[in-house]
Structure formats: C-alpha cells, structure tokens
Amino acid sequence: MAGIPFVDAHIHFYDLRNPDLHYSWLQPDWSDPDFGDFDSLKTLRYDTQPYLAEVRFSNVSKVVHVEAAIGIDDPLKETEWLQEVADRTGYPTAIVAHCDLADPFVESQLERHASFAAVRGIRDVGQGDYLTNPAWRRGVGQLARFGMVLDLDCDWKRMGIARELAEQNAEVPIILDHAGFPTARTEDYRQQWQSGLRELAKAENAYCKISALGARDPRWTIDSLRPWVLCCIDAFGPKRCMFGSNWPIERLYSSYTPLVDAYAEIISEFSQAEQEALFHCTAEHLYRI
C-alpha cells in the first residue's frame, strides 16, 4: 500500500452498558442462522480505543460508522452516543445512522439526525420487500434535502430494483453494502452475482462497498478473495468502489492488518490514482470527510 491512507468505510462500535442502547445481535441468546453466535465479540464496550489498538499497523486515517444498535427504540440515541465518542476521541469520522424511512414523519427523524455534525447518511434494513414499498421509497427521496447518502442492503436478485431506485433518486448517492452479500462461492453463483452488480452499476449514482467477504469465506486467502474483489471493481470502476473492514465482526474470520494487506495486494497492479480511489478518495468524497 506504500503509505496510502486507508479510510475504513464500514465499522461498528457498541456499548452494552448504556441503558439507552440495544443491540439485538449481541444479546446472550442471539445467533445467526448462517454463522452461529457472536459470543467472542460480546465485550461490554467496543469503541475508539480498542479499535485503534487493532488497526495501528494499517495506516487508518478516517472511519465510517454504520448503524449497529439494531432493535433500539429511538435511533437518535445511538447517534448521540457516537457523536459524543467522536467529539471526545476523533472517531468515528462519519456516521451512517438508522432511520425508519417508511415512517410518515421521516422528515422529522432525518432533521434530528442531521443536527449532529458527523452524520452523513442512513441505513435502514426495512421490513419485507422494502425496496418496492412506496412509503420507504418516499423516505429515500427525502435524503437529498439533508445531503445524506443511502447505505443499502441488497442481494443480487434485487439489484435491478435497486438500479431503478437509484435512477429515480439521482441526487442521492446509493452505496451497496458488503458487495451485495454474496452468499456462496461457486462459479455459477459468482456469475449471477456479477450480473447483478453490473445491472446496479448502470445507475451513475450507485457505488459499491467491498466488505464482509470473509463472512462467507472464513478460511479465505488472498487468492480466494481476489475474484470477488475484482468483480466489484470491474462492475463499478475504482472511482465508485471503496473498502471497508466490517470491524469488529470480521474479527471472527481474520485479524485486521492481514485483511487490509489482502486488499492492497489484490489491487497492487492498479495505478496509483486507482489505488487511492479505492483506499480513501471515494469514501472521502461520498461521506464528505
């Protein structure tokens, strides 16, 4: 990477001691149907100090926090806590908050989030087939008023719908989280997933966050990640892609520095400008940091 700063475009902090916050995925009896439990992550608090200790050899310059308080009654409480952490420690640099985009009073929610200096966007994993929900789409349409991006959870089967959503909201940057969650590692699946990426990439305001690939490939190597990373870049181009660690969740499958070094090795033959776009320029532009 030769001194290129790394903007980590996808991290999560949490504080299980805070009575105003709730994290359904960190509860004692919770487990993921695919990955099992996250017991090794269930420390009482994970924020700037432990994160910086893990990333100290990876030239991290800025970080983007994506909402983690799943199941919280008032998402503004997470934003308040994160802004306090940012004001005190300098991290996170940007916040992607949670908001119920289908709420009839969504404008009020967005206005409250926008009052915090670090907020740059929204992620809302809605109920059911939310991408086609008119109320949810109306909420997406309000993001431009507040200068916010949309971090989008979407698998390859729905990327045609996501493309239509992006084209109808051309002033809202729409960022595909976790490379569209590829759930298998077969060649047939990769071709279907890549076709979905290319479909979404037809919308000029659509971007791809390359992250969480280890979650479906727990014994990953640089060579096993390579085709998946390169497919994202082939579909969207370096100027519309960025890397994220999904930390600390990806600690289940890796240490931090080997993951960042793997990204650097995979793109080592790219031009200097392309490497800089992938490692920091695209994220800095989109999240205005």
In a domain, 143, yes or no: yes
Task: Determine what percent of the chain is predicted with pLDDT higher than 90.
Answer: 87
Residue 152 near residue 101, CB atoms below 8 Å:
no
Whole-angstrom distance, CA of residue 69 vs CA of residue 196: 29
Domain of 169 in residue numbering reads as 6-287
In a domain, 27, yes or no: yes
Residue 5 near residue 61, CB atoms below 8 Å:
yes
The answer on pLDDT for 243 being more than 90 is yes
Residue 24: burial class (beta carbons within 10 Å; 0-12, 13-18, 19+): exposed
Q: pLDDT of 89-139, one tens digit each?
A: 999 999 999 999 999 999 999 999 999 999 999 999 988 899 999 999 999
Q: pLDDT of 150-195, one tens digit each?
A: 999 999 999 999 999 999 999 999 999 999 999 999 999 999 999 9
Whole-angstrom distance, CA of residue 101 vs CA of residue 127: 11
In a domain, 242, yes or no: yes
In a domain, 174, yes or no: yes
The answer on pLDDT for 236 being more than 80 is yes
pLDDT level of residue 30 (50, 70, 90 thresholds): confident
Q: In what order do the strands lie in the sheet with 174-176?
A: 6-11, 60-66, 94-98, 119-123, 149-152, 174-176, 206-210, 241-243
The answer on pLDDT for 14 being more than 60 is yes
In a domain, 15, yes or no: yes
CATH number, domain with residue 83: 3.20.20.140
In a domain, 1, yes or no: no
Residue 78 near residue 100, CB atoms below 8 Å:
no
Q: Tell me how many domains the chain contains.
A: 1
Q: How many CB atoms lie within 10 A of CB 159?
A: 27
In a domain, 70, yes or no: yes
The answer on pLDDT for 53 being more than 80 is yes
In a domain, 161, yes or no: yes
Cα angle value 211/255/86 (rounded, 5°):
65
Q: In which region does residue 181 sit, left (phi positive, over 0), alpha (psi from -120 to 50) or beta (all else)?
A: left
The answer on pLDDT for 227 being more than 60 is yes
